[in-house]
Amino acid sequence: MSSVTDSKMLRFANRVAVITGAGGGLGREYALLLASRGAAVIVNDLGGDTKGGGKSSAAADKVVQEIRDKGGRAVPNYDSVEDGEKIIETALKHFGRIDILVNNAGILRDRTIARTSDLDWDLVHRVHLRGSFLVSRAAWPHMKKQNFGRIIMTASAAGIYGNFGQTNYSAAKLGLAGMSNTLALEGRKYNIFCNTIAPVAISRMTEDIFPDEIKPLLKPVNVAPLVAYLCHEDSEETGDYLKSAVGSENVSMRFKVRWQRANGAVCLKSDQGITPESVRDNWEQITDFDESSNPSSVAESMTTILDSIRQAQSAPPPSGPPVTSDNPSDAVGHVLPTNNFEYTSRDVMLYNLGVGVSTQQSDYLKFLFELNQDFCVLPTFGVIPAFSALQSLLSGDVPGMNSINPARILHGEQFLEVVKPIPTSGTLRNEAVVTDVLDKKSGAVILMDINSYDENNDLILHNQFSTFAVGSGGFGGKRSSDKAVVTVKPPDRAPDASMSEKTSVDQAALYRLSGDYNPLHIDPSFAAMGGFGTPILHGLCSFGFSGRHVLKTFCDNDVSKFKAIKVRFSGVVLPGQTIQTDMWKEGNRIYFRSKVVETGKDCISGAYMDITEGSQLSQTSSSVGALKSDVVFTEIGKHLAADANLYKKVNGIIAYKITNGGSLAKTWTLDLKNPTGSVYEGNPKSAKADATVTIEDADFADIASGAKNAQSLFQSGKLKAAGNVMLLMKMGR
């Protein structure tokens, strides 16, 4: 059949193609070319006229005969594209499958809008838009099942630019481009690719439109190679807007068409609100394409818009021209706008749920019930206030960040130090700076240090975020930084402990509600742009899981023992996968590493958690012992809260030390200036007590004897004994 002998020749052996409207013009050329390359072809043509009237089998039969005469395989089909199921059934009946669908059939009923009848409108839409939908829908389940499909939609320059007298046709044609982009998104994970072409060629439908002198340049035969390429399994193209082709005997041209969007202007609210005048006054900037972008999805388009709006809301109106540097190193030292992060106990509980706390766990109440006396913040929540400061990194105001593709930003590493206990609600002020930018060749690493302060200006949290911008390396920057908090290697022995937990398929959907709305974690099309087959889990969500594993195993969930944590995100986790954390204890440092059980690959490496000295005791004593002290403190706290007025004359902070076998077990502090009399656990070293009460071993042991866990202690009523401790303490005062 073909004279091309190159071994790299694109062949279609075992592929079955349906070409609609293949009785002549472009459709015929597609059918002939695909058949000559080995495809079995269904030549569909209703055999009507160009206005949609009449019916005949002659056109399809003729093309089928042409193919067979050359040794190819073809079967005719005479159904309307509105009978999409029947067309696809013909392919299945004769060849057992359907791999390629070229939606090519079309009619014209050109009129200016005033003269376009309902019928003119409807017929054009029924054939082009509805017909392409119906045949594609019929083919879809078969393509999905076999994990392969290539679909072509036929649009037109009239759809892109408009064309006099073609209201109905141009609307249908642009509609096909929209449909194609959506099928591309829905089909990607099944290896079903969909593209739209806008061919320029002479056919029955266009022979009256073009002047005679250029007609020889517009041969349908030259459009067919583009369609064949897009339908081949080697082509990775999908949903990339419109491709157009023009061809003559010796030359032909093909190009992509894409949407371009001006950077636009953010219209700020004046005393009169956001007014039509603010649009008028910004018109030049709104329509200025000197600075522009080419968003290729709703997600990408929305991300930049939202970033601009957020930025405009938190920053004063820009005084100078936008920053345009493309060298990421130029960002070093840039101070991001200070921002406040306000949160409530609801945010804390939402976060805790997002990182896997469940009512199935024994001590869930302190993490999921705001009225529980021990209600507390998981220490890894400490990244959440700081995260809110990161958003402005890609706002366009940070030098060097223009070249960073937001769809390809991954979380690289994270360091968090909890300097003072994290309140269960409040407002923290973030101060963020771009500390360093590293050139890792395969990507750029952006280090950002963020300090979070409470309303008294006390430093509560220190974070160092390290983001890995994939594909943005090679700008000639340095490779390492002495300002980076380094990762560590675990000891060279079997882990001291391991814990594994399955994440939920909805884990990312839940975690994002804590403030990281990156579409990468929820929107398949955005994930696809980043090179992922499916949305991935937030790095900080896996971080929360691993952090909980360490906290549970070595601190018995006592959050006060947490000091600092460092991790590297070395691999991707998908929602629904199982995270296993292997841990090694060396003094007050717990080395750990997490892997995805289903793949065996590491997702967190080089990691450690530093804990305070107190934790050693809970480590060396049995877990029942650790639980006892928790129960005692719970009860003491309850009494102190209730009887706070007894201590009013102290009017300061009382620290309570519990000793166990002569060692310090735990220190609690009570702030009597706090009108609610709430009790919190404090760091023994930093507790500035106005008075100290020490509870001796005997009482401690008595109270907890026979108790297996906090729940049973509460239920058994043994906690009443804690009243004695209170009495003792009061006497001690």
CB of 194 to ligand HDC, least distance (A): 28
Out of 24, 131, 159, 443, the residue judged to bind ligand HDC by CB under 6 A: 443
CB of 446 to ligand HDC, least distance (A): 8
CB of 542 to ligand HDC, least distance (A): 7
Check if 656 is active-site.
no
449 binds ligand HDC (CB under 6 A): no
Taking CA atoms, 219 is separated from 203, 245, 253, 516, 729, in Å, by 8, 10, 12, 52, 98
Which residues ranging from 456 to 485 are in contact with ligand HDC (CB under 6 A)? 466-468, 470, 479-480
Cα end-to-end distance, the chain, whole Å: 103
Q: Residue 526 and residue 517: Cα distance in Å, rounded? A: 12
User: Of 149 and 477, which CB lies nearer to ligand HDC in the complex structure?
Assistant: 477
Binding-residue total with ligand HDC (CB under 6 A): 29
Q: Residue 323 and residue 330: Cα distance in Å, rounded? A: 11
- Please give the order of strands across the beta sheet that includes 497-502: 339-343, 426-439, 443-453, 459-470, 409-418, 562-569, 601-611, 589-596, 578-586, 497-502
Out of 29, 363, 516, 635, the residue judged to bind ligand HDC by CB under 6 A: 516
In terms of Cα–Cα distance, which of 668, 689, 698, 690 is closest to 376?
Answer: 668
334 binds ligand HDC (CB under 6 A): no
Which residues ranging from 341 to 400 are in contact with ligand HDC (CB under 6 A)? 390, 393-394
The piece of 87-95, 449-457, 516-524, 722-730 that touches ligand HDC (CB under 6 A) is 516-524
48 binds ligand HDC (CB under 6 A): no
Buried b (16+ CB within 10 A) or exposed e, 32-43: bbbbbbbbbbbb
Binding to ligand HDC by CB under 6 A, coded x per residue (else -) over 535-564, reads: -x-xx-------------------------
In the 3-class helix/strand/coil scheme, how is 672-706 assigned residue by residue?
A: CCCCCCCEEECCCCCCCCCEEEEECHHHHHHHHCC
CB of 151 to ligand HDC, least distance (A): 32
Taking CA atoms, 276 is separated from 213, 263, 308, in Å, by 49, 19, 20
Q: Residue 464 and residue 447: Cα distance in Å, rounded? A: 7
442 binds ligand HDC (CB under 6 A): yes
Name the amino acid, one letter, at 190: Y
Out of 45, 413, 556, 558, the residue judged to bind ligand HDC by CB under 6 A: 413
In terms of Cα–Cα distance, which of 124, 153, 159, 122 is closest to 136?
Answer: 153
CB of 356 to ligand HDC, least distance (A): 16
User: Of 245 and 409, which CB lies nearer to ligand HDC in the complex structure?
Assistant: 409
CB atoms closer than 10 angstroms to residue 259: 12
Which residues ranging from 520 to 539 are in contact with ligand HDC (CB under 6 A)? 520, 536, 538-539
105 binds ligand HDC (CB under 6 A): no
Exactly one of 30, 78, 161, 169 is catalytic; name it. 169
Out of 220, 400, 412, 682, the residue judged to bind ligand HDC by CB under 6 A: 412
CB of 691 to ligand HDC, least distance (A): 46
CB of 300 to ligand HDC, least distance (A): 14
Whether residue 637 contacts residue 657, with contact meaning beta carbons closer than 8 Å, is answered with: no
- The catalytic residue positions are 169
> Interface residues with ligand HDC (CB under 6 A)?
390, 393-394, 409-413, 440, 442-443, 445, 466-468, 470, 479-480, 516, 518, 520, 536, 538-539, 568-572
